[in-house]
Amino acid sequence: MSHLDAPSVIRVKRDGGVLSNEAIDWVIDAYTHDRVADAQMSALLMAIFLRGMTTAEIARWTAAMIDSGERLDFTDLRRDGAPLALVDKHSTGGVGDKITIPLVPVVMACGGAVPQAAGRGLGHTGGTLDKLESIPGFTAEITKTQIRQQLCDIGAAIFAAGELAPADRKIYALRDVTGTTESLPLIASSVMSKKIAEGTRALVLDCKVGSGAFLATEAESRELARTMVDLGTEHGLLTRALLTDMSVPLGRTVGNAVEVVESLEVLEGGGPEDVVELTLALAREMLDAAGIDGVDPAQTLRDGSAMDRFRELVAAQGGDVGSLTAEALPLGAHKETVTAPGGGTMGDIDAMAVGLAVWRLGAGRSEPGQRVQFGAGMRIHRRPGEPVAAGEPLFTLYTDTPDRFAPALGELDGGWSVGAEPPTTRPLVIDRIM
Ligand code: URA
């Protein structure tokens, strides 16, 4: 029996101390096996949020989360006699960040194999699994055997982390409802425990910067990227990161099914410029990290091969490919439109305000395990810098529960403006960290 107990571990961090390796290993294991209560872990997470962690503590916390479950290994898999070019991407969380949906099929079409353990919505940010599950029949709860089969047959699987880093599954859900998401050590360990356990060989991180990112400043996002790249490298994973702008939402849709619809537009060779640009920038990084050269990811969007791969992926995971249209995917039964008070140019649209508004519409959770509304979301009719005529629609909000409009509109209020001057433009890809 361990001599450690939760109140003592919590007190060490509450008072600004450094957790011992033994305390970290114990608390992660005990929480995973329900010997530490949610209330106690919530208190510890809040203490970590407020006090931070040393680099050594983050490394040990991450290793303990990896050891809480199994570690997948695909190195034995072959396609046409050759080992798979295993490569994945993970975002630190954004608003309108549907990039995984077009990106995975682009990389599949270029010859990569993507084992993607994806997450559900966290805080004001959306989750890839909540978006994909809006496709009727699609399931992310697939077995290891199926993941291996899909990687060999079609080159990708997008799955709920399941038995990978189960400590993260519990802590992630708890952070989502206890105001403890925006913490560098907790984000770094959450992302990297899943990604190290999932069995990829190379990893590209999309580390967000700006109001819609979890961390407030560019300096903190840089530190997060550096921390994650170092954690991956220490565990033998070829890891690199792009720092990308998340001060305005990506694309023109934010929510669940509405983001799938926009992803389909990208896969058809259209879609918003920023979504296409980031998809291709990340695809190039992934292909480079996987050692695949001589292919142009943009061509896979033009020639429809990425769309074909997406259909294969959806079908392999039980999804109805016949519903991959704007008409067939769910859309909230009620809508509310925000119109322009006057003419001019659309100014900045605050990603955090939009993320919170969409969360209030029902696209995310306020209690663990809550069902999200697949049809909840927002269309952004005018992006920053676009001309606006007085009275025209700027935002359309969708939900199945109309009493959510008032709080959602409250979040959006003050998060956008129409003025005489165009807003300052920012590069989408800010830096590359290796
Ligand atoms: N993605 C994760 O998996 N975890 C976080 O904490 C943030 C983004």
The full set of domain ranges for the chain reads 6-67, 78-323, 334-419
Nearest residue (CA) to ligand 1, atom 2:
191
**Atom 5 (ligand 1): residue with closest C-alpha?**
187
| Given 120, 131, 175, 195, the catalytic residue | 175
Q: What is the pLDDT of residue 50?
A: 98
For the domain made up of 6-67, give the CATH fold. Answer: 1.20.970
Q: Is the CB of 267 under 6 A from ligand 1?
A: no
Poorest-pLDDT segment among 94-103, 143-152, 363-372 = 363-372
Is residue 11's pLDDT more than 80?
Answer: yes
Most informative mutation of 190, 192, 214, 227 for ligand 1 (most atoms within 8 A of CB): 190
Q: Give mean pLDDT, residues 393-400.
A: 98
Ligand 1 neighbour 119 (Cβ under 6 A): yes
Of 2-16, 121-135, 333-347, which range is least confident? 121-135
Average of per-residue pLDDT across 369-382: 95
Q: What is the pLDDT of residue 115?
A: 97
Beta carbon of 280 within 6 Å of any ligand 1 atom: no
Average pLDDT over residues 326-353: 97
- Which of 3.40.50.620, 3.40.50.10440, 3.55.10.10, 3.40.1030.10 is the CATH number of 78-323? 3.40.1030.10
The CB of 190 under 6 Å from ligand 1? The reply is yes
66, 91, 128, 181: which to mutate for ligand 1, most atoms within 8 A of CB?
A: 181
- Residue 368, pLDDT > 90, answer no
Please indicate whether residue 195 is annotated as part of the active site. no
- Catalytic residue list contains 38: no
Q: Is there a catalytic annotation at residue 168? A: yes
**What pTM was estimated for this model as a whole?**
0.95
Q: Is 68 labeled as catalytic in the residue annotation?
A: no
| Catalytic-residue membership of 131 | no
State if residue 128 touches ligand 1 by the CB under 6 angstroms criterion.
no
Identify the pLDDT of residue 274: 98
- Residue 92 CB less than 6 A away from ligand 1: yes
- For 252-270, what is the mean pLDDT? 98
184: Cβ below 6 Å to ligand 1?
Answer: no
Three-state secondary structure readout of the chain: CCCCCHHHHHHHHHCCCCCCHHHHHHHHHHHHCCCCCHHHHHHHHHHHHHHCCCHHHHHHHHHHHHHCCCCCCCCCCEECCEECCEEEEEECCCCCCCCHHHHHHHHHHCCCEEEEEECCCECCECCHHHHHCCCCCCCCCCCHHHHHHHHHHCCEEEEECCCCCHHHHHHHHHHHCCCCCCCHHHHHHHHHHHHHHCCCCEEEEEEEECCCCCCCCHHHHHHHHHHHHHHHHHCCCEEEEEEEECCCCCCCEEECHHHHHHHHHHHCCCCCHHHHHHHHHHHHHHHHHCCCCCCCHHHHHHCCHHHHHHHHHHHHCCCCHHHCCCCCCCCCCEEEEEECCCCEEEEEECHHHHHHHHHHHHHCCCCCCCCCCCCCEEEECCCCCCEECCCCEEEEEEECCHHHHHHHHHHHCCCEEEECCCCCCCCCEEEEEC
Nearest-atom number in ligand 1 for the CA of 191 is: 3
In this predicted structure, what is the pLDDT of residue 1? 54
Q: Give mean pLDDT, residues 342-358.
A: 97
**Residue range 334-419, CATH number:** 3.90.1170.30
Ligand 1 atom at shortest distance from the alpha carbon of 214: 7
